[in-house]
């Protein structure tokens, strides 16, 4: 492209600098407004009995959330991802986080009181026409009411979450980030080494680097053992106080999911681990290995020769998105013009990619683009999140966010738009590589995450019953569950120490949302393939935010995840891809 493309964030759209006086002004304004709301409604309980009074109170609560929105923490968090070593920003972010927690505590009583409204009055409020705008908010509040404690107890749990969970997790995260290994005579971080392993050409090289990493994890496993046991026991205490029966109940409720549909998902994927095992058997054949090692699970089977610069990625995504829906292309163009995308890796910048959205603030995307097809796919994935966020901003402030169970749907859907467009441009050899990579991503997103869910369930159950799990027990448990979906893949005793660095384990049971979203996305994409006019329903889904449960949102666009065989149909599409890959791999080569 002839025109220069913006490739760095312009965070001055939020604040001028970490020292900007406007940060403190906005925070003080929020503190005063929340204190005023608390002063007014702590003295009255009329809103707990009267429809008109509740409507007025909720309208004021909505205005409070809307007009005193504070984006200082959002801004400082983005700065940290740009430079993880900036201690000044980290310290300020921690202090602001504590103040924001206190601000939330000022009005905590309001939602607690609403959740405790007697059942006969709840029923009356839920059918009220005057309260229709807030119906789903009230429904969720009433459903969680039995798990909500008194205001003083809730404040204690809120305040103790930092030392009893967050700081433990931060400690291990920092410990892991400081570990280094040697590769080609150069000292590199374990995170960089993990990224490099799939690109190494031989099993010997992959295993050598992998073994260095697991040795590092094993060496710091005492710390991770203490951390895991501490945060799991803390969760047990919280669950017992609230009355949650199973260790995963709080997460499922927090994500607004139907428990039966989630457990059906876990059971169905677990019963079909033979699908992922079949893939790894084929992968071993493609790599000409008798047996894969754990280090080989993500190994490349070849490369697509295309060099796709960020500018080319932008061009391709503009074309693809615009062809699907012109509004999608317009959003992407706006993001680049307004400097809402940070494209390239830099020293001190966080690895990976993410999309960050905040009420009444620009949505930002972080990439680490390295000019490959995979980088293009990641760009498409994160733009899916971003477009979802932009559409959901049409909702009132209470409904602008979206559940973790719908979060991965738009992103993987947009990935599909990109993948099938690019597939047509590849040589037959490159198509094999691209199809392999797509299936491998599906396996990691669905089968590996559910295997991890099963590991978490056993870990929580064991620690709750026994009081502790040693690092050896944690590693053995991890290996057993990884083996369940990998099949005939060699795992050493120390491979299990990957529990040390798997940070998703610290966001309890979060992993199921990946599989949930990926399989729902497959169903939506199939409907779009059958009828491109279905894009209207896709836009509707993204516009609903969290104004309904994930199950009801999908049902409103003709996708019923509650059907007993829904998840199985999604897994069948992966089997079809594996069958296609097998046919391409086994196809006789032309002489």
Q: 272: helix, coil or strand?
A: coil
- Judge whether 422 and 373 are in contact, CB under 8 Å: yes
Q: What stretches of 276-367 adopt beta strand conformation (E)?
A: 292-293, 341-342, 354-356, 364-366
For 481-511, how does the pLDDT look when each residue is reduced to its tens digit (9 = 90+)? 999 999 999 999 999 999 999 988 999 999 9
CATH code of the domain made up of 174-303+436-506: 1.10.1370.20
Residues 6+ apart with CB under 8 A from 240: none
pTM of the shown model? 0.86
Q: 187: helix, coil or strand?
A: strand
pLDDT-derived band at 346 (thresholds 50, 70, 90) equals: confident
- Judge whether 544 and 439 are in contact, CB under 8 Å: no
Largest CA distance in the chain: 87
For residue 187, what are the β-bridge partners?
A: 182
Q: Of 525, 548, 251, 263, which is closest to residue 395 (Cα–Cα)? A: 548
For residues 92 and 115, give the distance between their C-alpha atoms in angstroms, rounded to a whole number. Answer: 34
pLDDT of residue 391: 97
For 57-66, how does the pLDDT look when each residue is reduced to its tens digit (9 = 90+)? 999 999 999 9
Domain extent listing, the chain: 11-148, 174-303+436-506, 310-430+523-586
Integer angstrom CA distances of residue 148 from 47, 111, 224, 327? 19, 10, 30, 42
pLDDT of residue 591: 53
pLDDT of residue 460: 98
| Domain range 11-148, CATH architecture | Up-down Bundle (1.20)
Q: Of 392, 397, 427, which is closest to residue 539 (Cα–Cα)? A: 392
For residues 244 and 475, give the distance between their C-alpha atoms in angstroms, rounded to a whole number. Answer: 27
For 356-375, how does the pLDDT look when each residue is reduced to its tens digit (9 = 90+)? 999 999 999 999 898 888 89
For residues 472 and 218, give the distance between their C-alpha atoms in angstroms, rounded to a whole number. Answer: 9
pLDDT-derived band at 84 (thresholds 50, 70, 90) equals: confident
Encoding tokens for residue 290? 């008798």
For residues 32 and 70, give the distance between their C-alpha atoms in angstroms, rounded to a whole number. Answer: 13
């Amino acid at each position: 492209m002839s025109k220069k493309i913006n490739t760095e964030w312009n965070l001055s759209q939020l604040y001028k600098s970490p020292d900007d006086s406007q940060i403190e002004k906005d925070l003080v304004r929020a503190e005063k407004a929340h204190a005023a709301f608390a002063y007014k409604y702590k003295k009255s309980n009329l809103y707990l009995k009267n429809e008109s009074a509740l409507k007025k109170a909720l309208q004021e609560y909505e205005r409070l959330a809307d007009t005193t929105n504070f984006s200082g923490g959002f801004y400082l968090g983005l700065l940290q991802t740009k430079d993880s070593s900036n201690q000044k920003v980290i310290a300020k972010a921690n202090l602001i986080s504590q103040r924001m927690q206190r601000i939330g505590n000022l009005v905590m009583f309001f939602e607690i009181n609403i959740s405790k409204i007697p059942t006969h009055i709840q029923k009356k409020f839920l059918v009220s026409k005057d309260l229709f705008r807030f119906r789903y908010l009230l429904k969720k509040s009433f459903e969680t009411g039995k798990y909500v404690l008194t205001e003083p107890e809730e404040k204690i749990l809120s305040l103790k979450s930092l030392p009893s969970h967050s700081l433990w997790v931060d400690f291990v995260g920092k410990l892991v980030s400081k570990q280094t290994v040697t590769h080609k005579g150069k000292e590199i971080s374990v995170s960089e080494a993990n990224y490099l392993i799939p690109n190494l050409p031989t099993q010997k090289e992959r295993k050598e680097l992998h073994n260095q990493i697991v040795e590092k994890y094993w060496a710091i496993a005492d710390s991770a053992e203490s951390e895991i046991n501490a945060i799991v026991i803390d969760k047990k205490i919280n669950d017992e106080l609230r009355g949650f029966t199973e260790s995963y109940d709080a997460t499922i409720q927090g994500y607004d999911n139907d428990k039966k549909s989630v457990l059906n998902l876990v059971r169905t994927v677990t019963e079909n681990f033979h699908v992922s095992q079949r893939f790894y058997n084929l992968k071993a054949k493609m790599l000409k290995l008798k047996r894969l090692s754990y280090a080989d699970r993500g190994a490349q089977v070849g490369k697509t020769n295309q060099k796709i610069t960020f500018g080319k990625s932008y061009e391709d995504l503009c074309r693809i998105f615009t062809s699907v829906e012109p509004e999608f292309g317009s959003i992407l163009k706006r993001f680049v013009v307004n400097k809402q995308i940070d494209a390239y890796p830099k020293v001190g910048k966080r690895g990976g990619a993410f999309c960050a959205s905040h009420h009444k603030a620009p949505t930002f995307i972080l990439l680490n683009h390295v000019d490959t097809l995979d980088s293009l796919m990641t760009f498409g994935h994160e733009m899916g999140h971003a477009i979802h966020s932009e559409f959901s901003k049409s909702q009132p402030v209470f409904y602008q966010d979206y559940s973790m169970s719908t979060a991965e749907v738009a992103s993987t859907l947009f990935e599909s738009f990109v993948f099938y467009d690019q597939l047509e441009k590849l040589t037959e050899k490159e198509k094999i590589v691209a199809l392999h990579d797509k299936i491998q991503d599906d396996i990691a997103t669905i089968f590996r995450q559910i295997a991890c869910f099963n590991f978490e369930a056993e870990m929580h159950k064991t620690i709750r019953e026994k009081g502790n799990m040693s690092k050896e027990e944690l590693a053995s448990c991890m290996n057993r569950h990884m083996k369940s979906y990998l099949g005939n893949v060699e795992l050493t005793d120390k491979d299990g120490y990957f529990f040390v660095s798997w940070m998703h384990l610290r966001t309890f049971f979060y992993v199921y949302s990946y599989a949930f979203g990926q399989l729902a996305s497959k169903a939506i994409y199939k409907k779009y393939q059958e009828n491109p006019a279905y894009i209207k329903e896709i836009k509707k889904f993204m516009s609903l935010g969290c104004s309904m449960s994930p199950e009801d949102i999908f049902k409103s666009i003709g996708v019923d995840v509650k059907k007993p065989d829904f998840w199985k149909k999604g897994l069948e599409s992966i089997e079809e891809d594996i069958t296609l890959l097998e046919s391409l791999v086994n196809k006789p080569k032309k002489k």
